[in-house]
Amino acid sequence: MNLKKIQTIYFVGIGGIGMSAIARYFASNGKLVAGYDKTPSQITSSLEELGVEIHFEDSLKNIPISFLDKDKTLVVYTPAIAENHTELNYFLNNNFKVLKRAEVLGKITESTFCLAVAGTHGKTTTSSILGHIMHQQKATSFLGGIAENYNSNLILGEDKVSVVEADEFDRSFLQLSPNIACITSMDADHLDIYGEAAVLEESFVEFANKVSGTLIIAKGLPLKGLTYAVNEAADYRAFNLKIESGKYIFDVQTPSESIKNIEFYLPGKHNVMNALAAFAMADVYGVPAKKIKLSLSTFKGVKRRFSYKIKTSDFVLIDDYAHHPTEINAVENSIREMYPKEKVLAVFQPHLFSRTRDFIDDFATALSKFDEILLLDIYPARELPIAGVSSEWLFHKIENKHKKLVQKNNLIKDIKNSTAKVVVMLGAGDIGEMVNEVKINFYNSRK
């Protein structure tokens, strides 16, 4: 399929973070784009500003007539869409060209020099850092988060070089043809798809085998490639870490040179690892170390990745996408590093019944480390309820006296009842929308 010849593209699930990046790419390249999503969001609003027509009711009457010609329209869908979706089934049953998001991304990037970032944790931040570095090389970057520097999940460049967040969900990353790739981590996740951790690992091995050039891996992963690590021997090593004026300063040793006093503003040693991975990929591509160093110092972060919503001398509100125990531990470590003497309240919304069930004890251990916990109901996303799996089950496993099950409509009141100076809101569901209400309310109460 020659995507350059297709002028009309319809997205089923256009508001998804990966879907919207591709929709934005096509719209920016003069294609006629429209789509459906379940609910309005900041992402759908930004697409509408580009002229993309979007509706929020699953009904054939809402599909613009210009998208009903099967010979001219490509339909793109996300695996998160329900099997009984009316619009998607209409396209499938009427012989439209219908492709998964991952297949389309693979086709967009197959003719480019592709740098792909995979891993169960860290891939969004790492690919966003890499996209920022590679922007000067005129790369086009498809991200799984909103890069603060560009206020977008697409960094538009030319069509010769691409940076791609390689998603393991539904084995999507196996559609890519990377020239340089990085794997940040291979922790068990998405067991609703893979069944067991060993099958997930096999998928990463299959992805690694698709890399035509250099594979870069976090030290300790069971793969062969150039390694990177913080404060230990590796092909790419970050060391001499210091925190000064709210930023990291560290040195990097590459296979060929040493770079001193790199400045990086994202908190947490896991983010130094992410920066180091991006550094290694750009270095292998051929970007001069001085340019990489400058880009790292100007990177502003990714929305919902340790994003400060309020940061004053008496109150801090942090928003983070963390939805896996490993990610929650990383956030807690970062907060303790930045605010070692302060009381910390965590508001957590579990994401998926299956993930809650599969990692229940690890979630309880991670959440118990905070000083106070407010626990919301499970956000189901694409899933139906599972018998016996609930936030109440998780609540009883958390070993902390200062915990409470809360409802959305009481959340602001419950946060205000706490004396914690630092509040962190965690989860991959609609808690990302709730955090803005909390921010506005706390700003207004302090006027």
- Give the model confidence (pLDDT) of 121-149 as tens digits: 899 999 999 999 999 999 999 999 999 99
Q: What pLDDT, on a 0 to 100 scale, did the predictor assign at position 172?
A: 83
pLDDT at 64: 97
pLDDT value at residue 263: 97
pLDDT of residue 190: 47
**Number of structural domains, the chain?**
3
Same domain? For 83 and 190 the reply is no
Please state the φ and ψ torsions of residue 384, each to the nearest 5 degrees.
-90, 155
Residues ≥6 apart with Cβ < 8 Å to 210: 174, 176, 177, 178, 181
Average pLDDT over every residue of 291-308: 93
**Where are any strands of DSSP class E within 38-87?**
53-55, 73-77
Rounded to an integer, the average pLDDT of 231-254 is 94
- The CATH number for 339's domain is 3.90.190.20
**Is the pLDDT at 26 greater than 90, yes or no?**
yes
Mean model confidence pLDDT for the chain:
93
Under a CB-based contact definition with an 8 Å cutoff, are residues 119 and 189 in contact? no
Is residue 147 within 8 Å of residue 153, measured between CB atoms?
A: yes
Q: Are residues 139 and 96 in the same domain?
A: no
What is the span of the domain harbouring residue 429?
Answer: 307-445
Band of residue 446 on the pLDDT scale cut at 50, 70, 90 = low
C-alpha 170/C-alpha 194 separation (Å) is 8
* Lowest mean pLDDT segment, chosen from 62-66, 211-215, 431-435: 431-435
Domain boundary among 259, 275, 298: 298
- One domain, residues 275 and 330: no
Tell which wins on pLDDT, 7 or 337. Answer: 7
Residue 301's Cα: distance from chain center in Å? 12
Looking at 298, 332, 356, the residue that finishes a domain is 298
Residue 394 and residue 275 share a domain: no
Q: What is the mean pLDDT of residues 28-44?
A: 94
pLDDT at residue number 188: 57
Grouping H, G, I as helix, E, B as strand and the rest as coil, residue 276 is helix
Q: Residue 236: which CATH number?
A: 3.40.1190.10
Q: At what angle do helices 17-28 and 42-49 cross, to 10 degrees?
A: 10
pLDDT, one tens digit per residue, over 254-283 is 999 999 999 999 988 989 999 999 999 999
Q: HEC string of 128-165?
A: HHHHHHHHHHCCEEEEEEEECCCCEEEECCCCCEEEEE
> Could you tell me if 200 and 231 lie in one domain?
yes
Domain boundary among 298, 332, 347: 298
Of 203 and 372, more confident: 372
324 and 391: one domain? Answer: yes
pLDDT score of 413 more than 80:
yes
Regarding whether 335 and 284 lie in a shared domain, the answer is: no
Angle at 397 between CA 394 and CA 399, to 5 degrees: 125
Confidence at residue 358, expressed as pLDDT on a 0 to 100 scale: 93
Lowest mean pLDDT among 159-163, 253-257, 432-436: 432-436
- State the pLDDT confidence band at 119, using cuts at 50, 70 and 90: very high
Residues 199 and 345 in one domain: no
Same domain, 70 and 206: no
Residue 417: the pLDDT is 94
Task: Please indicate, yes or no, whether residues 397 and 433 belong to a single structural domain of this protein.
Answer: yes
Q: Which pLDDT does position 197 carry in this prediction? A: 66
- CATH assignment of the domain containing 35: 3.40.50.720
Stated pTM of the model: 0.83
At residue 189, the pLDDT reads 55
Whether residue 326 is found in the same domain as residue 262: no
In a shared domain, residues 314 and 292: no
pLDDT tens for each residue of 77-105: 998 898 899 999 999 999 999 999 999 99
